[in-house]
Structure 1
């Protein structure tokens, strides 16, 4: 049930950042009330920093509204401004903007320091491990002290902390204790609403076991929060989760009405793995939130703060390609964006049906479409490992027609409410028979998977053949260089006694001619294309080997011939080998960083991983002299060396996990810059 916030307002409400009266916005994850001017800065930071919502035009779930009201009543703003309340600090460090101060730069700089850099938050003790904060949070969520939980979260407590002794997460405890406001706070900070405790119960089931049916229904809504937001934005309707109907699937496009570009786009969408599909749903969810907030913003804000947010702000926790893709969503027109939402919802239903057919074979979460908060947590994890992101291109997708779904059960109108194939409150065996997936579609997917596996194996074999050819050419270049030196050493100028007289020519003429010939012979060949029998024959054999590789397409063969021909010069071969060595050793550094991060997250010993990083970094630095001719390259090498020492120090001194993470990130960044800037001379 949704209620209007305007009907439940306190008599005394001020902006948490500048103390202006009558605030009209709220930051959900911060638990603060904001005026329009301060809210404009919050919007520019992004939803991952501050998730704002209108107090006057937005519809609020009752438990979410109660959470914000409780945090305001408990003066949670003192957590974000702790150092400002310290009377022992200098006055210039305790200055807070007033409502009459200009938005830029006074208010904006203060808000960025307060919320983005967390300059005024009460820091946790250095000797207090993150696991201790998690244990305190696990214990505090069973009470109504929201300010205590907010303080722990602000200090770095994990909302998904799992207590080994209790066999449960924080959200399980809050649901079993019947604390809806605590549950809303945990979800706002990224708690997983689909996680199971040691007994196999989800948070919704824990609430039902505790007799809190209303809270259980709310948690079920949060499970489908991402798709619910998409459905409401597209159709203005909400699924009936209490009745077991979790999706409203719009009618799919008819095949004959779709363009070739639309068909290719749908085919790529259906080929996405589940984790990439979940990231796409999360990005679309953020874009919907931006568009809806922007619509409210343009009708309510006035003056300087009226400037909107044209696209999703950059999230440093995500990769650069993903941030670019998120911003490109704003370029879609309303019809284009609606088409994307319709295709995503149709494919989400298809994936849900496939998951219901193989519930025990799924290694991921029980629901491929998770809540928006959990998808946010998953997105951060997927970008942490690996540290270097691979960007997919159109060549990574085969020319595959979109999979046609059986839409005969759908109403020919705009859409029809269908029942989800999985109900979290019922056993898997009780799923609806209407969710049965046609066997032909599964067989098609299997055939496509087998076809791609065979293509990968064939490309691997071709790569091995090409590598052997490059090695053969390298050896030939070495032999040519040795033979050229030997030829120079045995050539000498003939003496006068060695020249025999010829008829019609004087001895002096014959001697001059011989000396000219000797000079021509004493010159080394300027390239491998000099008329020497050995290289010429070997090149013909190599060309025959390249063109005779089975299954190699014409375009790939032509490109390979051109690449090998350009490498025939010995200097080019040396340059290529040096670049490959740098890349190989840089990849070794990256693997060592990934092993270090895995060990840090699992609380294993870090000094051993530090030795691996030191060894891999030293091997990479050994390729470069102490003083490089290129100043920019020398700067990058120095940064890499300093970053390696920083990681080693952080691991050996048992620094906090945040320090280890920062040091590892700096090392990965320096390694990537070195590979990018290295240009062999």
Structure 2
């Protein structure tokens, strides 16, 4: 379809005519000036595309146009439509306003702080509110009313919500009903095209069964969006998914060079990263590809004779507040890579993504991503040319103008490459798998020992807490146990919207050491005794899960994870919705997101009918990592409340 829009279109933020950019996840059109501010917010707030000079999936462009023409902007400016807002002095930016500070401050308030979005009435249990909204979303996607679904998503409905009675997600419903634009919107907000329903069927399956073959093909593209985007960035073409070709791994033009020792070490580190850390790195590289490509479009479309310094390129990835400072620093370092170095890293990620999908994975969850970012320079990809990677393109080295990772959606995808002529497993591969299994068993033993130590520490803290003056009343808890998209879908790499979402916060976010944090006394925190009691319950359930892992009782994973999730929810409910301490907030995020991720990982232990059996070694390793994160967060919350309540 044509990308040209009617001249009557106005910028959603300042009302300038003929906007040339779109914010995909916000469903609005914006002008060049406002786009420069959107880009500085980061993709987790706004995902921008040029209407004419950026390749668009036609169905995604149609979705944005439909949202804009049906008033999606009123969702983000809800309170400004109230006549009372004029009396209070609140107003949107206009064409005559200066970009800085007028337009930029308005845009940040509108999209980053969501200052004008309609707020739901306060309720005692916010998690119930999110569940109700998600159920409404589940019902709404069978119709074509896009703006209703965007409004529900803006209020906290979850695109990946699994309906307990229906046994499926909103994307299953939209796919079966052939609602193409609804499917596009849901996937922008992180919905997983490869998520199985209670019958083991994915949204792709339902689209095909209902005869919506174009939609099914599009969902497959979305599933592989991350690796497709990286391949297209290097060689200008994408895999032929219709013929079961799901990866293109380009080759560096200077492949005759020998690998340096540092480059070899970097590649080895990349291959030994846990799926979770590998996903995070791949997502960050995706964002850097987007930044670089959008910069190129930006520079090519500006009137350089009148270009002002206010609207410039974005020099590096903006900070995502949901990521740790270490990860944000690593993301920004990606901008320092020259074209050759960055292409090398992209090729390594594509190669390893393909290897991981095919199950040849060895994991070491604590390996260092930093070494990879420092040392991918002078290397080539001749060692990527094995029997399972026949598709190569030559990549020039001159300057170019941003669990389980088979695709943008994780290893829930069970499809294989068309090139199945892999060589027989080598002795080295066998030894690698055997070593990884031994490491997994050793980690189980280590974690069980750590949890026993945690139990001892908890008993000691409980004795200390008994000496404290008991609080006569508990503050009513309204801690928000809802999850954003980045927490909801730990195994996905769909980069659309999750960064907002996105669309992926916190599972690996590091928590600052307590001794390094200046914490004010927070009188709203619960008593130490209550926190210890809930932590003991969590620890007991974790130990049960680890024993099941040690005894290979994989059918016990799901009930164990459900008990852990209940205990975590009860513990999180002790805390206020917005604790004063950032450390408390970070620990609660890690606690709740890890519990949700644990449930997701444990579900993978149950084979789906008609699908290949899961790689239990990988599943067990991910389950252990989730349990470790939960125990770590619970221990920190005990330490924090003990310190606070003794002050």
TM-score scaled by structure 1? 0.61
Match of 2:119 among 118, 123, 144: 123
**Does the 8 A contact of 1:4 with 1:58 survive in 2?**
no
Against the structure 1 CA distance between its residues 4 and 321, is the aligned structure 2 distance closer, same or farther, given a 3 Å change threshold? farther
How much does 1:647 deviate? 13
**Does the 8 A contact of 2:478 with 2:576 survive in 1?**
no
Against the structure 1 CA distance between its residues 453 and 66, is the aligned structure 2 distance closer, same or farther, given a 3 Å change threshold? closer
- 1:231-242 to 2 correspondences below 5 Å: 231-242=231-242
**What SS is found at the alignment partner of 1:306?**
coil
In structure 1, distance between residues paired with 2:42 and 2:438: 42
Query: Which residue of 2 is the match for residue 163 of structure 1?
Result: 163
**Does the 8 A contact of 2:207 with 2:215 survive in 1?**
yes
Match of 1:108 among 104, 109, 116: 104
2:568 paired with 1:660:
no
How much does 1:440 deviate? 2.6
Query: Which residue of 1 is the match for residue 84 of structure 2?
Result: 88
In structure 2, distance between residues paired with 1:409 and 1:658: 51
Query: Which residue of 2 is the match for residue 449 of structure 1?
Result: 436
How much does 1:204 deviate? 1.1
Against the structure 1 CA distance between its residues 391 and 659, is the aligned structure 2 distance closer, same or farther, given a 3 Å change threshold? farther
How much does 1:167 deviate? 1.1
**What SS is found at the alignment partner of 2:219?**
helix
Give deviations 1:40-82, integer Å, cap 9, x for gaps: 1111110000001111211211110110110011011111111
How much does 1:391 deviate? 7.3
**Does the 8 A contact of 1:123 with 1:155 survive in 2?**
yes
In structure 2, distance between residues paired with 1:433 and 1:637: 56
How much does 1:598 deviate? 12
In structure 1, distance between residues paired with 2:215 and 2:332: 35
How much does 1:109 deviate? 1.0
**Does the 8 A contact of 1:644 with 1:667 survive in 2?**
no
Query: Which residue of 2 is the match for residue 293 of structure 1?
Result: 294
In structure 2, distance between residues paired with 1:286 and 1:168: 30
Give deviations 1:384-408, integer Å, cap 9, x for gaps: xxxxx9977769xxxxxx9966625
2:53 paired with 1:57:
yes
How much does 1:674 deviate? 8.0
2:314 paired with 1:306:
no
Match of 1:29 among 25, 29, 39: 25
Give deviations 1:295-328, integer Å, cap 9, x for gaps: 1111223324431111111111111111111111
Q: Which moved more, 1:117-126 or 1:14-23?
A: 117-126
**What SS is found at the alignment partner of 2:358?**
helix
**What SS is found at the alignment partner of 2:248?**
strand
Match of 1:438 among 420, 425, 438: 425
In structure 2, distance between residues paired with 1:92 and 1:661: 27
In structure 1, distance between residues paired with 2:480 and 2:109: 32
Match of 1:353 among 349, 354, 358: 358
**What SS is found at the alignment partner of 2:49?**
strand
**Does the 8 A contact of 2:153 with 2:159 survive in 1?**
yes
How much does 1:447 deviate? 4.5
Against the structure 1 CA distance between its residues 76 and 656, is the aligned structure 2 distance closer, same or farther, given a 3 Å change threshold? farther
**What SS is found at the alignment partner of 1:433?**
coil
Q: Which moved more, 1:660-669 or 1:337-346?
A: 660-669
Query: Which residue of 2 is the match for residue 264 of structure 1?
Result: 265
Query: Which residue of 1 is the match for residue 521 of structure 2?
Result: 639
Query: Which residue of 1 is the match for residue 490 of structure 2?
Result: none
Query: Which residue of 2 is the match for residue 38 of structure 1?
Result: 34
In structure 2, distance between residues paired with 1:423 and 1:317: 21
How much does 1:444 deviate? 2.9
- 1:660-679 to 2 correspondences below 5 Å: 660=577, 665=582, 667=584
Which blocks of at least 5 consecutive residues in structure 2 are unaligned? Answer: 373-380, 396-405, 454-459, 466-476, 484-514, 532-567, 588-635
Query: Which residue of 2 is the match for residue 344 of structure 1?
Result: 349
Give deviations 1:166-189, integer Å, cap 9, x for gaps: 111011111111111111111111
- 1:159-198 to 2 correspondences below 5 Å: 159-198=159-198
- 1:470-509 to 2 correspondences below 5 Å: none
How much does 1:646 deviate? 13
**Does the 8 A contact of 1:25 with 1:34 survive in 2?**
yes
How much does 1:424 deviate? 11
In structure 2, distance between residues paired with 1:344 and 1:652: 36
In structure 2, distance between residues paired with 1:66 and 1:326: 32
How much does 1:637 deviate? 5.8
Q: Which has the higher contact order (CA 8 A, sep 6+)?
A: 2
Query: Which residue of 2 is the match for residue 385 of structure 1?
Result: none
**Does the 8 A contact of 2:480 with 2:577 survive in 1?**
no
Against the structure 1 CA distance between its residues 27 and 423, is the aligned structure 2 distance closer, same or farther, given a 3 Å change threshold? closer
Q: Which moved more, 1:36-45 or 1:447-456?
A: 447-456
Query: Which residue of 2 is the match for residue 611 of structure 1?
Result: none
**Does the 8 A contact of 2:172 with 2:202 survive in 1?**
yes
**Does the 8 A contact of 2:193 with 2:203 survive in 1?**
yes
**What SS is found at the alignment partner of 2:577?**
helix
Which blocks of at least 5 consecutive residues in structure 1 are unaligned? Answer: 365-381, 383-388, 396-401, 468-580, 587-595, 603-631
**What SS is found at the alignment partner of 1:60?**
coil
Give deviations 1:76-129, integer Å, cap 9, x for gaps: 111111111111345244322110110111111111111111111111232361
**Does the 8 A contact of 2:579 with 2:585 survive in 1?**
no
More helix by share: 1
**Does the 8 A contact of 1:19 with 1:99 survive in 2?**
yes
How much does 1:269 deviate? 0.5
Q: CA RMSD in A?
A: 4.8
How much does 1:643 deviate? 4.6
Against the structure 1 CA distance between its residues 413 and 68, is the aligned structure 2 distance closer, same or farther, given a 3 Å change threshold? closer
**What SS is found at the alignment partner of 2:249?**
strand
**Does the 8 A contact of 1:26 with 1:34 survive in 2?**
yes
Against the structure 1 CA distance between its residues 144 and 412, is the aligned structure 2 distance closer, same or farther, given a 3 Å change threshold? closer
How much does 1:257 deviate? 1.1
**Does the 8 A contact of 1:167 with 1:198 survive in 2?**
yes
- 1:421-436 to 2 correspondences below 5 Å: 433-435=420-422
**What SS is found at the alignment partner of 1:249?**
coil
Give deviations 1:465-517, integer Å, cap 9, x for gaps: xx9xxxxxxxxxxxxxxxxxxxxxxxxxxxxxxxxxxxxxxxxxxxxxxxxxx
In structure 1, distance between residues paired with 2:137 and 2:114: 20
Query: Which residue of 1 is the match for residue 499 of structure 2?
Result: none
Against the structure 1 CA distance between its residues 105 and 225, is the aligned structure 2 distance closer, same or farther, given a 3 Å change threshold? same
In structure 2, distance between residues paired with 1:83 and 1:19: 18
In structure 1, distance between residues paired with 2:572 and 2:479: 16
Query: Which residue of 2 is the match for residue 153 of structure 1?
Result: 153
The number of residues matched between the two structures is: 479
TM-score scaled by structure 2? 0.64
Query: Which residue of 1 is the match for residue 281 of structure 2?
Result: 280
**What SS is found at the alignment partner of 1:242?**
helix
Query: Which residue of 1 is the match for residue 620 of structure 2?
Result: none
How much does 1:32 deviate? 0.4
